[in-house]
C-alpha cells in the first residue's frame, strides 16, 4: 500500500478491475446544492451513539455510490491475492495486475513459487519495485505454506501474520476479500485520510496511525461492513476526497463530514478531529 506493507484500491471482484459506481460518475450522485455541509462545530463532542448513527448514514451513501466496491487486485484464489497484495507494497494495482498473470502462469502454486529460481522470480516482478525484498518474502511465505499449511493459504489472522511479509493489513485484505471474513478493517493511505477527515477516528495521532485508526473504525462500523467500508473509502478517496484536492462541494458525504468546507485551498487540509 501507499503508506505501508500493502495497497488496495476499489475495483470489482476477481478478474474484473473497473470501479463500479452507480450512475455515470461519482459526481452524478453527489450532494445536491441545497444540502449544505454542516460545520465542523456540529460534530464536536459527538457521542458514540451519534457517531454510530452518522456512520450508518455514511455507509448507506457509500453503498449507493459503490455498490460493487471490491479489491482491485486481480486474483483467482487466496494464494494469488496474498501474493498480489505483497507485490502491491509501494506499487500501483495496475502494475501488479500486469505482473501477476505472467507470474502465476509461470509459477501457479505455492510450491512452484517457493522452489523458483530467485533470479527468475525477481525478473518477473521487477517492475513492482523493491523486487529483491518482495521475492524473498514471497518465497519464504510460499515455503512456509507448503511446509505448514499443505500449500494452502490459512484463513485465520493468527496464522496469516506468521507468514513473511504479511502484517495485519495484508491479512485483513486476504481474510476479507478471499475468505469473506470480517476480522478487521484494511487501513491504507486512503482509508487513513478519509477516516480522519470524516471524524471516524479519535485516538490516532495522524492519518498514518493505522493501528489506532483501524481500532476506532472497528468500534463504530458494524462488523459486517468492515471489508466493504475499506473498499468504498478507498474508492471515494481516489475519486472525490483526494489528498490534495477534496471535492467537498460535490461530495455525497458532505452533510455527515466534519471536514466539509474546511479546506482553505488544495493541499492545505484542516481535518476535523473529533472528541469522542
Q: Among residues 8, 186, 198, 232, which is the contact residue for ligand SF4, using CB under 6 A?
A: 198
The residue (of 62 and 153) whose beta carbon lies closer to ligand SF4 is 62
Closest Cα to residue 141, out of 153, 127, 157? 153
Smallest distance from ligand SF4 to CB 259, Å: 4
Least distance to ligand SF4 from the beta carbon of 68, Å? 20
Footprint (CB under 6 A) of ligand SF4, residues 222-261: 240-241, 246-248, 251, 253-254, 257, 259-260
Round to whole Å and give the CA distance between 76 and 37: 42
Regarding 221 and contact with ligand SF4 (CB under 6 A), the answer is: no
Contact by Cβ (8 Å): 161, 167: yes
Contact criterion met (CB below 8 Å) for 59 and 224: no
| Residue 119 vs 264, nearer CB to ligand SF4 | 264
Q: How far is the CB of 15 from ligand SF4 (least distance, A)?
A: 30
- Cβ distance to ligand SF4 smaller for residue 78 or 199: 199
Q: Choose between 101 and 267: whose C-beta lies nearer to ligand SF4.
A: 267
Residue 81 or 221 having the CB closest to ligand SF4: 221
* Catalytic site includes residue 33: no
Find the shortest distance in angstroms from Cβ 189 to ligand SF4: 14
CA atoms of 164 and 29, how far apart (whole Å): 42
Count Cβ neighbours within 10 Å for each residue of 205-219 and write b for 16 or more, e otherwise.
eebebbebbbbbbeb
Q: Which of 51, 169, 209, 216 is catalytic?
A: 169
Of 6, 70, 93, 188, which residue is the catalytic one? 188
Catalytic residue check, 169: yes
- Cβ–Cβ < 8 Å for 62, 233: yes
Compute CA 126 distance to the chain's CA centroid, rounded to the nearest angstrom: 23
Query: Do 137 and 84 touch, CB atoms closer than 8 A?
Result: no
Report whether 1 contacts 87 (CB < 8 A): no
Query: Using CA atoms, how far apart are residues 29 and 67, in angstroms rounded to an integer?
Result: 13
Nearest residue to 136 (alpha-carbon basis) of 151, 152, 153, 114: 114
- The residue length of the chain stands at 276
In the bound state with ligand SF4, the residue whose beta carbon lies nearer, of 103 and 257, is 257
Which of 80, 197, 207, 214 is the binder for ligand SF4 (CB under 6 A)?
Answer: 197
DSSP, collapsed to helix, strand or coil, labels residue 246 as strand
Q: How many residues bind ligand SF4 (CB under 6 A)?
A: 13
Closest contact distance (angstroms) between CB of 26 and ligand SF4 is 10
Q: How far apart are CA 208 and CA 189, in angstroms?
A: 7
User: In whole angstroms, how close is the CB of 240 to ligand SF4 at the nearest point?
Assistant: 5
At 66, is the secondary structure helix, strand, or coil? coil
Residues at the interface with ligand SF4 (CB under 6 A): 197-198, 240-241, 246-248, 251, 253-254, 257, 259-260
Q: Which residues are catalytic?
A: 169, 188
Amino acid at each position: 500500500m501507499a503508506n505501508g506493507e500493502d495497497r488496495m484500491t476499489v475495483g470489482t471482484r476477481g478478474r474484473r478491475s473497473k470501479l463500479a459506481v452507480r450512475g455515470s460518475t461519482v459526481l452524478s450522485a453527489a450532494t445536491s446544492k441545497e444540502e449544505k455541509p454542516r460545520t465542523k462545530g456540529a460534530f464536536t463532542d459527538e457521542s458514540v451513539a451519534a457517531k454510530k448513527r452518522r456512520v450508518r448514514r455514511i455507509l448507506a451513501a457509500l453503498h449507493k455510490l459503490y455498490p460493487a466496491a471490491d479489491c482491485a487486485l486481480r486474483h483467482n484464489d487466496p494464494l494469488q491475492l496474498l501474493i498480489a497484495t505483497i507485490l502491491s507494497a509501494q506499487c500501483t494495482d495496475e502494475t501488479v495486475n500486469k505482473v501477476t498473470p505472467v507470474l502465476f502462469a509461470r509459477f501457479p502454486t505455492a510450491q512452484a513459487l517457493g522452489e523458483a529460481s530467485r533470479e527468475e522470480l525477481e525478473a518477473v516482478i521487477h517492475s513492482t519495485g523493491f523486487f529483491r525484498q518482495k521475492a524473498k518474502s514471497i518465497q519464504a511465505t510460499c515455503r512456509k505454506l507448503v511446509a505448514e499449511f499443505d500449500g494452502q493459504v490459512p484463513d485465520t489472522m493468527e496464522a496469516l501474520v506468521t507468514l513473511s511479509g504479511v502484517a495485519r493489513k495484508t491479512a485483513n485484505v486476504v481474510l476479507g476479500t478471499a475468505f469473506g471474513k470480517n476480522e478487521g478493517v484494511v487501513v491504507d493511505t486512503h482509508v487513513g485520510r478519509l477516516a480522519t477527515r470524516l471524524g471516524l477516528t479519535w485516538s490516532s495521532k495522524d492519518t498514518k496511525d493505522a493501528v489506532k485508526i483501524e481500532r476506532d473504525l472497528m468500534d463504530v462500523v458494524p462488523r459486517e461492513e468492515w471489508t466493504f467500508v475499506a473498499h468504498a473509502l478507498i474508492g471515494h478517496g481516489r475519486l472525490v476526497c483526494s489528498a490534495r484536492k477534496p471535492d467537498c462541494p460535490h461530495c455525497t458525504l458532505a452533510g455527515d463530514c466534519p471536514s466539509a468546507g474546511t479546506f482553505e485551498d488544495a493541499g492545505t487540509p484542516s481535518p476535523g478531529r473529533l472528541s469522542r
